Amino acid sequence: MPPAPALTPHCGLLPATRIAAVAALLLTAACSGVQTPLDPHGDAAARIATLTIVLFVGGTAIFLLVMGLLGWALFAPGSRRGLLRGRGFVVGGGIVFPIVTLVALLVYSLDASRALVLPREAQPLRIEVIGRQYWWEVRYPDAGEDAVTANEIRLPVGREVELLLSSGDVIHSLWIPNLHGKMDMIPGRVNRQRFTAERTGVLRGQCAEFCGLQHSFMALAVVVQEPEDFAAWLALQQAPVPEPADAQTVQGMRVFGEAGCGACHAVRGTPWQGRLGPDLSRVGSRLTLAAGALENQHGTMAGWIAGAQDIKPGNAMPAYSRVLAGEDLLAVAAWLEGLR
Amino acid sequence: MDDLAPRASASATPNHLPRPAEELERLEAVWRMPRGVSIVTEFNNNLIGPLFVATALLFLLLAGLLGLLIRAQLAVPGLTLVDAATYNQVFTMHGTVMMFLFAVPAVEAVAIALLPAMLGTRELPFPRLGAYAFLIYALGGTFFYCSIFFGAAPDGGWFMYPPLTSKEHSPGINTDMYLLGIGFIEISAIAGAIELIVGILRCRAPGMTLGRMPMFAWGMLVFAGMVVFAFPAVIVASTLLELERAFGWPFFLPERGGDPLLWQHLFWFFGHPEVYVIFLPAAGMVSMIVPAMAGARLVGHSLVAMALVGTAFLSFGLWVHHMYATGIPALSLAFFAAAGFAVSIPSGIQVFAWIATFASGKVRWEVPTLYVLGFLFIFVLGGLTGVMVSVTPFDWQAHDTYFIVAHLHYVLIGGMVFPLLAALYYWSPSLGQPLSDRLGRIGFWLLFGGVNLTFFPMHISGMMGMPRRIYTYPSGLGLELWNALSTVGAAVTALGFLVVLIDVVLHFRLGGGQRDHWKAGTLEWIDNNNYGPRSIPRVQDRYPLWSDPGLRREVEEGGHYLPMTATGRREALVTSPAEAIPQYVQVLPFPGWGHVVAAVGTCAFFFALTVPLLVEAALAFCVMLGGMIHWLWTGSDPAPSATRSVDIGDGIRLPTHASGPVTTSWWAMIALMLVQGVAFSCLLVSWLYLWLVNGDAMWPPPGQGVPAGGFGLAAFALYGAGALAIGAASWLLGRAGQWWVRLALLLAMALFAAGAWADLSALWSGGVQPQAHAYGAASFAIASWQAVHVAIALLMAGYTLARSLAGMLDGQRRLTMDNTRLFWLYVAAQGAAGLGMLHVVPRLLA
């Protein structure tokens, strides 16, 4: 096996399987996307993608071989079938052949697994992700207590990351296929996963373990950034939130408090420090709302506050369309959108 | 095989021909089915078998409809034909019904319908148990399915992972519906498995050695053995979760020392073998159909039989395949990956044996052939993706995506549904009228095309990032085309099933079939009636009808063994397990209401518990118990017949009554003890596992202690004394007066009751609390399990006492005593093991 992963700019495939890779490049090009293991953005996903191609090519070849033999047994003239008739054929095809191929596959796959679990850096960037019905709490413990966000993971390109995965209620599973495989988030345990992102980009992750009513809408955005952009973003996550600048946002901040939003949500530097729902300190700068259920565009914030139970029935956020006057609702949305 | 060598010459039949006319009349009379309403009291396999198959196919269609609903909802992004809550029930029920109410019962059903004829026996040894298994399955399954119309269906996935299914996160009765409803339907599977193990090992036609046994019987034997070892795990898991939900005993809640992963280990220890439980009988069917359609003997017969057994062993080492993403260290995962690779070898042996058999003969392109070829195509593809997902890193990506949905449907539809349809078309002429060739071909091509169109694109949607169990998905991820194709494929598949259904409704009729339809070589193609074959064939080959062209006529004219009813009752010929040497003639009961009442009571009991209606549940429990006691009292352990022995042919004289280890009843009790032993082992292992998770400092946790040793010693001594007392009762029976026997029974009962009391008191006085911590919960689970077994043992001893008082127990007629004694010895051993775990292990290791 090749000693080190030679990452090429585009697909990150090991040289030993370059022939398979060339054939697969077409496939990979067709399969590029923000949530697919076939478009790796990091070392771990690239290794698995290579393995995937080997498995697909090998599997297809064996399938065609077996079907070919079956066709031979069915359609060849009787005199030509002699080879297939005996016990020797059964022993050869059913025992010897699988043992040889499977031992080879075992050696190869164990090597691939080993490479995936060997740490590369002594001090990776640690990111805590806590699964909750139906959203993600994300913390950067190395940066301090305040470095917290939700439903979005940002990470720098080229630096090894260690995810610390746990759960606040039921079992979830974090899956960011362009970076690595799944890892379950199990109450009472902390699971770890390491990888290094090799390309910048905006990716998508999703909960992969059925976790209840709104399992379908438990996604998150994953942003791989240049190190300096990441550092700036992380600093912003700890900085005080901006003061409300105009009458509407002043009103929005007031309504936020009066409506009791702070019982569940925290906004840094305010009295509201609820932990039941996502931290909203920089919610305006996030790419999605409601764990990937909505794009964070103008108007979606107000829509979510008003109709959370229509958009994502059964989630913990009440719908405020009947609770708040229209003007108040828009004001809260405007204040939150301004938290960037 | 000297015993069975023909006495006169090779052509002589065991019994003289022609037979006297009144012999057949008497045989027909005792096997005649009751008419009118009383038909429900009948348990003849020729009636129960086809009904069982029809019920299983009904559940296939019902679960298939749910699958169609899933595909309709996912046809385009953002569609919500049903809301999230309903969708979660729909996919949970689709999987649960397919696995528990279709796949496992379907293969048991085919076995009950076909095995007696295939083995050349008149009946399986416990026909009422088979009928009871069928009835609780049919009644319970229907109730369970109907829960979806009331929004009460389970909604936590067929795997039911806690803590999502714990009381806090699933407060409704939906989860209880699964735990109790499915839990008790598993009793049906286990009852059927015991019936099949004993039937296959002890009721084969004389001369049908294990080496000559048809491959479907091998498949079913391995199936039944796997059920015995796998199903107790899910019953234990369900019991623990229900205890947690109902009484707050924390087995799976981490804040009180439990562990969610305990459930996953137990569930998949059942769940992975379950896949092979479904596949192996189907593989056995294929191994029967391929030789018939190729007109050639199965190549590598013994290799194929070994492959079935080998698969069973390996499949118990694979459960962690479902847990690759739970954070188990990669090194341990490597072991399971290797086991996953290894299990493909026995499948490979079978595939190549079938190819070799096709190559050996001249293939007839009949409908069963098409289904077998469709099976090979789909199953080989599914098997290869199975090897792929055994590779740990690949599985980290594929796990819980539509790639897995594709894989499992290829394996299960390819590995089970297609062989079942092949079997339907192949064996319908042996049960009755053949199905239509034309409709059969249309149905096949629709199904083959439809299944591939539905499930092949799912490999791609999975690799494009689509997780499982989502009720809708966003546009823009590249999933639209593949989902649309899958939905179109589902519609084509539905059409295919419709054609098969129409064919069955139009053409399938029981009885009067053309027995030589395919010119196959095995015994089920001999004319068969209510009483099974006219006479029990002497078997000298794997394909008796091919090697001895005169055999069919000889058997049908009554020239072979036991062409009469020897005792004027229904009878089965019992033979030795390996060589099939005749041992005795077992007298079977006549139809009766006992097992029917018991089945109704069982269903009512479990569903009343689910609601919960406790008073009604208690009443239903009494009905169940009454039915069971009536069933045993009237038919089991009959008095020895006036005809003490019978010449079955070839000068072989057999007794018509037996007791001790030679009886089928003894064998069934041993099988039941295996089931019990596996279940109890699961409990003990769960206790140890929770210790491992908690660490020594928390086992026992602060505030709780090790159970009081004095009470423990007392319980140990009382269980031991109880076992001795029951041994004495058994020894005295036939040697001393009945009052001595009764006294020993009473003494044994007192000792066991006191033993259970001391067992539980040890926990109370040791400060063990079931609700505070997993330590207490697991300890009480072991002791309570034992207490329930003691209660059953007391019931059995009381029943034995009643038989003695009624004059139905003596030195000859002693099956009741023998079984009670066996069960008591088991319960005493189980008690000792439990005490050892709770008392000795912590003191030794602390």
Residue type, B40: V
Contacts of B461 in chain A (CB under 8 A): none
Q: Which of B73, B326, B335, B460 to mutate to test the interface with A (most CBs of A within 10 A)?
A: B326
- Which residues in chain A have their CB less than 8 angstroms from residue B261's CB? 186, 189
For chain A, give the mean pLDDT: 90
CA R_g for chain A: 26
Find the length of chain B: 846
Measured between beta carbons, which residues in chain B are less than 8 angstroms from residue A112?
391, 393
Are residues B123 and B664 in contact, defined by beta-carbon separation less than 8 angstroms? no
Interface test with chain A among B262, B301, B350, B352, by most A beta carbons within 10 Å: B352
pLDDT at A19: 54
Q: Closest Cα of chain A to B785: distance in Å?
A: 28
Put simply, the answer to whether B463 touches A38 (Cβ < 8 Å) is: yes
Q: For residue B528, give the H/E element and its range.
A: strand B528-529
Q: What are phi and psi of B539, to 5 degrees?
A: -105, 130
How confident is residue A21, by pLDDT bands cut at 50, 70 and 90? low
Rounded CA-CA distance B468/B474 in Å is: 14
Residue B217 predicted with pLDDT over 80: yes
Distance CA B194, CA A95 (A): 32
SS (H, E, C) B435-468: CCHHHHHHHHHHHHHHHHHHHHHHHHHHHCCCEC
Residue type, A144: G
Among residues 385-444 of chain B, which lie with CB inside 8 Å of chain A?
385, 387-388, 391-397, 399-401
Is residue A3 very low, low, confident or very high in pLDDT (cuts 50, 70, 90)? very low
| Chains A, B: CB pairs < 8 Å | 246
Provide the β-strand partners of residue B536: B561
Q: Which has the closest alpha carbon to B242: B186, B322, B162, B319?
A: B162
Give the mean model confidence (pLDDT) for residues B364-387.
Answer: 97
Q: pLDDT band at B329, cuts 50/70/90?
A: confident
Chain B neighbors of A214, CB-CB under 8 A:
84
User: In this structure, what token pair is assigned to residue B500?
Assistant: 């098969």
Least confident of A238-252, B6-20, B172-186: B6-20
Q: What distance lies between CA B180 and its chain's CA centroid?
A: 17
Mean pLDDT, rounded, for B75-88 = 95
Length of chain A (residues): 340
Residues B164 and B253: their CA atoms lie apart, in Å, by 10
Q: Round to whole Å and give the CA distance between B93 and B70.
A: 11
Q: Is the pLDDT of residue B9 over 60?
A: no
Of B330, B342, B397, which has the smallest distance from its Cβ to A117's Cβ?
A: B330
Cβ(A135)–Cβ(A151) below 8 Å: yes
Chain A interface test: which of B168, B391, B468, B483 (most A C-beta within 10 Å):
B391
> Could you tell me if B290 and B298 are in contact, meaning their C-beta atoms sit under 8 angstroms apart?
yes
Whether B488 has a pLDDT exceeding 90, the answer reads yes
Cis peptide before B640 (omega within 30 of 0): no
> Distances from the Cα of B646 to the Cαs of B206, B364, B560, B642, in angstroms?
15, 45, 14, 11
Closest-CA residue of A relative to B324 is: A183
Distance between CA atoms of residues B311 and B313, nearest Å: 5
Could you tell me if A317 and A280 are in contact, meaning their C-beta atoms sit under 8 angstroms apart? no
Which residues from A are below 8 Å from B358, CB to CB?
70, 73-74
Q: Distance between CA A217 and CA B474 in Å, rounded?
A: 9
Rounded Cα gap, residues B752 and B746, in angstroms: 10
Q: How far apart are the first and last CA of chain A?
A: 48
State the pLDDT confidence band at A79, using cuts at 50, 70 and 90: confident
pLDDT score of A20 = 58
Q: For residue B84, give the nearest of A31, A81, A214 by CB distance.
A: A214
For the residues B736-754, what does the mean pLDDT come to? 97
Lowest mean pLDDT among A30-39, A45-54, B148-157, B427-436: A30-39
Reported pTM = 0.94
Residue of B nearest to A179 (CA): B397
pLDDT at A30: 57
Q: Please indicate whether, in this complex, the C-beta atoms of B401 and A63 are within 8 angstroms of each other.
A: no
> For tokens 């070849």, what's the residue?
A61
Q: Which two tokens stand for residue A205?
A: 């992750």
**For position A113, what pLDDT does the model report?**
87
* Chain A: residue whose CA lies nearest to B346: A94
Picking from A205-219, B77-91, B330-344, B476-490, which range would have the lowest pLDDT averaged per residue?
B330-344
**Alpha carbons B100 and B177: distance in angstroms, whole number:** 14
Q: Return the exposure string of A311-335: e unless at least 16 CB atoms fall within 10 Å of the residue's CB, then b.
A: bbeebebebbbeebeeebbbbbbbb
* Confidence category of residue A27, pLDDT binned at 50, 70, 90: low
Distance from the B358 Cα atom to the nearest Cα atom in chain A, whole angstroms: 6
Task: Inspect the interface and report whether the beta carbons of A215 and B377 lie closer than 8 Å.
Answer: no
**Beta carbons within 8 Å of A33's beta carbon, 6+ residues apart:** A39, B464, B465, B477, B478
Measured between alpha carbons, how far is B27 from B563 in angstroms, rounded to an integer? 8
Whether residues A85 and B326 touch (CB distance < 8 A) is answered with no
Interface test with B, best of A170, A180, A203, A217 (most B CBs within 10 A): A170
Cross-chain residue pair B164–A187, CB shorter than 8 Å: no
Q: Which of B 159-218 lie inside 8 A of A, CB atoms?
A: 161, 163-164, 169
The minimum CA-CA distance between A146 and chain B, rounded to whole Å, is 26
For residue A134, whether the previous peptide bond is cis, meaning omega lies within 30 degrees of 0, is: yes
Q: Which of residues 26-55 of A touch B (CB under 8 A)?
A: 31, 33-38, 45, 47-48, 51-52, 55
How far, in whole angstroms, is CA B620 from its chain's centroid? 25
First to last CA, chain B: 58
Predicted complex ipTM: 0.94
pLDDT of res. B732: 97
pLDDT at residue A12 in the model? 41
How far from A156 is each of A198, B255, B513, B687, CA to CA, in Å?
9, 35, 74, 45
Which of B394, B475, B479 is the best residue to mutate to test the A interface, defined by the most A CB atoms within 10 Å of its own CB? B394
Instruction: Give me A174's structure tokens.
Output: 């974090």
- Tell me the residues of chain B between 305 and 364 that have a Cβ less than 8 Å away from chain A: 307, 325-327, 330, 333-334, 337-338, 341-342, 344-346, 348-353, 355-356, 358-360, 362-363
Structure tokens at A285: 């700068």
- Candidates B348, B380, B473; nearest CB to A94: B348
Q: What are phi and psi of B275, to 5 degrees?
A: -60, -40
Within 154-173 of A, beta carbons closer than 8 Å to B belong to 169-171, 173
Strand bridging mode A172-175 / A148-150: unpaired
Share of chain B above pLDDT 90, in %: 92
Ranges of H-type helices in B477-550: 480-507, 544-547
H or E element, residue B784:
helix B774-805
pLDDT(B595) > 50: yes
Strands A125-132 and A160-167: parallel
Return the residue matching tokens 């470095």: A147
CA atoms within 13 A on the CB side of A25: 12
> Which pair of tokens denotes residue B101?
């109410």
Instruction: Return the pLDDT at B11.
Output: 52
Quick one: pLDDT band at residue A25, thresholds 50, 70, 90? low
**Candidates A96, A111, A171, A202, partner chain B, best to mutate (most B CBs within 10 A):** A171
The 10 Å Cβ neighbour count of residue B379 is 27
Mean pLDDT confidence for B681-687: 98
Residues of A in contact with B350 (CB under 8 A): 94
> Distance from B614 to chain A by nearest Cα, in Å?
29
Q: Do A191 and B326 touch (CB under 8 A)?
A: yes
Give the residue-averaged pLDDT of A201-212. 97
In eight-state DSSP terms, residue B704 is -
Question: Is-cis flag, bond preceding A77, omega within 30?
Answer: no
SS3 string of chain A? Answer: CCCCCCCCCCCCCCHHHHHHHHHHHHHHHHCCCCCCCCCCCEHHHHHHHHHHHHHHHHHHHHHHHHHHHHHHHHHCCHHHCHHHHCHHHHHHHHHHHHHHHHHHHHHHHHHHHHHHHCCCCCCCEEEEEEEECCEEEEECCCCCCCCEEECEEEEECCCEEEEEEEECCCCEEEECCCCCCCEEECCCCCEEEEEEECCCEEEEEEECCCCCCCHHHCEEEEEEECHHHHHHHHHHHHCCCCCCCCHHHHHHHHHHHHCCHHHCCECCCCCCECCCCCCCCCHHHCCEECCCCEECCCCHHHHHHHHHHHHCCCCCCCCCCCCCCHHHHHHHHHHHHCCC
> What's chain B's average pLDDT?
94
pLDDT for A316 beyond 50: yes
pLDDT > 70 in chain B, percent: 98
Q: B156 and A204 in contact by Cβ < 8 A?
A: no
Give the helix/strand (H/E) hosting B411: helix B402-412
Judging by DSSP bridges, how do beta strands A219-225 and A152-156 pair with one another?
Answer: parallel
Q: Does A71 contact chain B (CB < 8 Å)?
A: no
Tokens of B431: 């049960």
CA distance, residue B581 to nearest chain A CA (Å): 30
| pLDDT tens column, A88-108 | 999 999 999 999 999 999 999
The answer for A 235-294 residues in CB contact with B (under 8 A) is: 292
Asked if A188 has any chain B CB less than 8 Å from its own CB, the reply is yes
Beta bridge partners of B655: B645
Confidence of residue A1 (pLDDT cuts 50, 70, 90): very low
CB contact under 8 A, A113 and B333: yes
Measured CA to CA, the distance from residue B506 to residue B514 in angstroms comes to 17
Contact list, B344 vs chain A (CB under 8 Å): 98, 102
The answer to whether the beta carbons of residues B657 and B644 sit under 8 Å apart is: yes
Q: B381 touching A, CB under 8 A?
A: yes
- Nearest-CA distance from A152 to chain B in Å? 18
Asked if the model's pLDDT at residue B7 lies above 80, the reply is no
A55: chain B residues, CB-CB within 8 Å: 387-388, 391, 394
Mutate to test the interface with A, among B262, B293, B396 (most CBs of A within 10 A): B396
A222: which strand partners? A153, A203
